[in-house]
Structure 1
């Protein structure tokens, strides 16, 4: 089918649908919902068989949905209506939730229902549940609806007035989730913050300054006067509740153009006066060991790795190498593996160019340490989405294992034609070959793990259930105990020495950083403009041609009118 994805932004769900639908042979193009007239124009240009709206903030124009079938993804069960479905579900402590695919109609979120997928709720942030359970359920439901359409199965079922499942909820307001620090329990505070993370963030105050709170976790073995900040650790601040405490990892001040940053960096002076309490529930970097398998887990908020994060992870990596293991798993977080350098910290620096330079060198140091490890098997385990330098960092390991639920964005160019480093000019061609390397870095499209495996940048696809710690440790232990393990390590050393003799890692790094220095310090400001627009969420004025194929190809023919739904 020819399918148009109409979305407010090219977010994680839209990217995942883009990947899954292309993988199944559908012709896909994307239009960002910038203006109703732009939507009308895109439909006229592309003449799709079907419009799918994974993420919208307003209704599809009536003249569009009357002339072409439009499916809308709603992150709630049938009958749930309103713009804050997931917010309310978390805030009210729902134990079960789901995703509905319905057909666009006159009333928002009220059209006939095609399919539904339910799931149990976790104690997690809204953004985490959206990226994982909602996205997985939405993909399954959309694919089922498309199968029904292609096979001519029964049409969707309308929900009639009076149906007991219908529940209309308005936006979740600031007052709905205001924290009462003198009475709210830890569980209640977590629900309130989680319901607003990552947009818009819960409004509260810290040290008499109004802020939005993000990245909250239960603090263990910490208490104090309710509402007071009592400890700090790894960039987070611990704030006491009536029955314990929570860690607040990130905040954003309400001042115009303020940035979401580590709480202890925003309040550095106050944090310096607080006791440090490691091992009490907030630890972005953790190391575990089982037999001959070590696991270095790192989970940085939104996958962004600041200079200090890279340095801390390098220290932890070197400490892991001192352990007598034969295999080392590098497991990123369940939401993100890594998205490379920390653009918000760079934007907040006195000199964005200088901080960009420090950050890229810090992540390069980490990549080099992984590449030069020849005494054991190193495996990157990608359980969450990865982008830009994060993808190429994973290639520094001997093997890359990735969940079948993730999306990779192995390119830098959308960030103002950033050249990129992390030794990608060495790592990518030796894995994918010259032709695939060119395709990967130039196409600027999201890649699913099946395609990534065909391209050579993923070695093992982990199907659902295969990302648990025990499963990963068993797979790594089996690889480390293989009869050919010693020969594999010997071959690894020989190849590294041969590669170094042909062209040193330092030469690759120098070449990459020479190009990046121009991005950071040169006369072309494209990187700085793109970074600013990304961090401050400046709305796009048009859909990038890299995803809007109908605008670059003028819909490739098919001279006919708009398809009429049955």
Structure 2
């Protein structure tokens, strides 16, 4: 296959391995489009996206338009004359003019087994929903939201104690592997249309999803703790004060009152709506560092029968 002129569009850490794969390939990365620098941290320091950092380190021109439908952005893209555009977690909608510009169109690396979990937060929602398998799909982009024909699918299990943060790292690497596999085969691919139907939408994660509802089952609450780590993290209240629950595991201990503490000597186990127990392993009180439950209980004794979240 001839050397291609490739434009990469991506923003967060998740997209970095895919850009590195392109930089390591025989093809030419002629430009990178990423979101504008944003203030981050307590001091709100203006910070470049991880993709911009890697591109700059490799001398690749970087473009940061607010919107891809801006005429200036389209002119910049046209001047690069790309054969292919690779999109990974860019966070911007691409107009038809962009999709139709390259000879090979635009391909997207999406972190789910499409058509399930289209949208902004497929990794978190797969865990929140208790899925045991996920993967990445490379698709030919169209004007819909993650609705394009599928070019390559890679599956992987979701491990029982795996958090969203852990799965981010694995799927990021798997996406890069899939991209490396597909590049030499662009002329020989057989696009597969996505099945018709309503497969839901993986909406953006928000802090409003953090509070643990102890009326839910132990398994569902365990999935919530895993799926919301490391942002925004699951929370509950203990003695009226909000505490982040950073890690937990299912317990064999049983309890009849949802939210009631059923063990607080050396470990913290809470009854759930199905009668099962959830052991809180790592917690973080407001304004404090994360600590294991034993350390927390040493400084904040909690009596058996205390109801959390009340």
Q: What pairs up with 1:81-230 in 2 under 5 angstroms?
A: 81-123=118-160, 124-132=162-170, 134-149=171-186, 152-159=187-194, 163=195, 167-171=199-203, 179-181=212-214, 183-210=215-242, 213=244, 215-218=246-249, 227=259
Question: Under a length normalisation based on structure 1, what TM-score does the superposition of the two structures give?
Answer: 0.39
Q: What pairs up with 1:60-79 in 2 under 5 angstroms?
A: 60-68=94-102, 69-79=105-115
The CA distance in 2 between the partners of 1:157 and 1:260, in whole Å, is: 51
Greater gyration radius = 1
> Cα gap change, 1:84/1:269 in structure 2, threshold over 3 Å: closer, same or farther?
closer
The CA distance in 2 between the partners of 1:76 and 1:208, in whole Å, is: 38
Q: Paired residue for 2:33?
A: 31
The CA distance in 1 between the partners of 2:168 and 2:253, in whole Å, is: 30
What is the Cα-based RMSD across aligned positions, in Å?
A: 3.6
Q: Paired residue for 1:43?
A: 77
Where is the strand percentage greater, Structure 1 or Structure 2?
A: 2
The CA distance in 2 between the partners of 1:196 and 1:114, in whole Å, is: 30
> Cα gap change, 1:196/1:138 in structure 2, threshold over 3 Å: closer, same or farther?
same
Does 2:21 align with 1:7?
Answer: no
CA contact (8 A) 1:197 1:214 kept: no
The CA distance in 1 between the partners of 2:264 and 2:79, in whole Å, is: 58
Where is the helix percentage greater, Structure 1 or Structure 2?
A: 1
Identify the match of residue 55 of structure 1 among 78, 81, 89: 89
CA contact (8 A) 2:233 2:246 kept: no
The CA distance in 2 between the partners of 1:250 and 1:26, in whole Å, is: 47
The CA distance in 2 between the partners of 1:107 and 1:260, in whole Å, is: 44
Please list every run of 5 or more consecutive structure 2 residues that lacks an aligned counterpart in the other structure. 37-65, 303-310
Does 2:271 align with 1:241?
Answer: yes
Q: What pairs up with 1:303-342 in 2 under 5 angstroms?
A: none
> Cα gap change, 1:210/1:177 in structure 2, threshold over 3 Å: closer, same or farther?
closer
How far residue 109 of structure 1 moved from its aligned partner, in angstroms, is 0.2
The CA distance in 1 between the partners of 2:77 and 2:114, in whole Å, is: 28
The CA distance in 2 between the partners of 1:135 and 1:141, in whole Å, is: 10
How far residue 167 of structure 1 moved from its aligned partner, in angstroms, is 1.1
How far residue 8 of structure 1 moved from its aligned partner, in angstroms, is 3.1
Q: Paired residue for 1:523?
A: none
CA contact (8 A) 1:88 1:172 kept: no
How far residue 270 of structure 1 moved from its aligned partner, in angstroms, is 7.2
CA contact (8 A) 1:220 1:245 kept: yes
> Cα gap change, 1:210/1:45 in structure 2, threshold over 3 Å: closer, same or farther?
farther
CA contact (8 A) 1:6 1:53 kept: yes
How far residue 101 of structure 1 moved from its aligned partner, in angstroms, is 0.8
Q: Deviations over 1:144-189 (max 9, x none)?
A: 331222xx21452333xxx3576132526777775332x4444322
> Cα gap change, 1:70/1:33 in structure 2, threshold over 3 Å: closer, same or farther?
farther
CA contact (8 A) 1:78 1:165 kept: no
How far residue 56 of structure 1 moved from its aligned partner, in angstroms, is 3.1
How far residue 118 of structure 1 moved from its aligned partner, in angstroms, is 0.9
Question: Under a length normalisation based on structure 2, what TM-score does the superposition of the two structures give?
Answer: 0.67
Q: What pairs up with 1:387-466 in 2 under 5 angstroms?
A: none
How far residue 67 of structure 1 moved from its aligned partner, in angstroms, is 0.8
The CA distance in 2 between the partners of 1:260 and 1:33, in whole Å, is: 33
CA contact (8 A) 1:60 1:104 kept: no
> Cα gap change, 1:269/1:166 in structure 2, threshold over 3 Å: closer, same or farther?
closer
Q: Paired residue for 1:348?
A: none
> Cα gap change, 1:2/1:232 in structure 2, threshold over 3 Å: closer, same or farther?
farther
* Equivalent residue pairs, number: 255
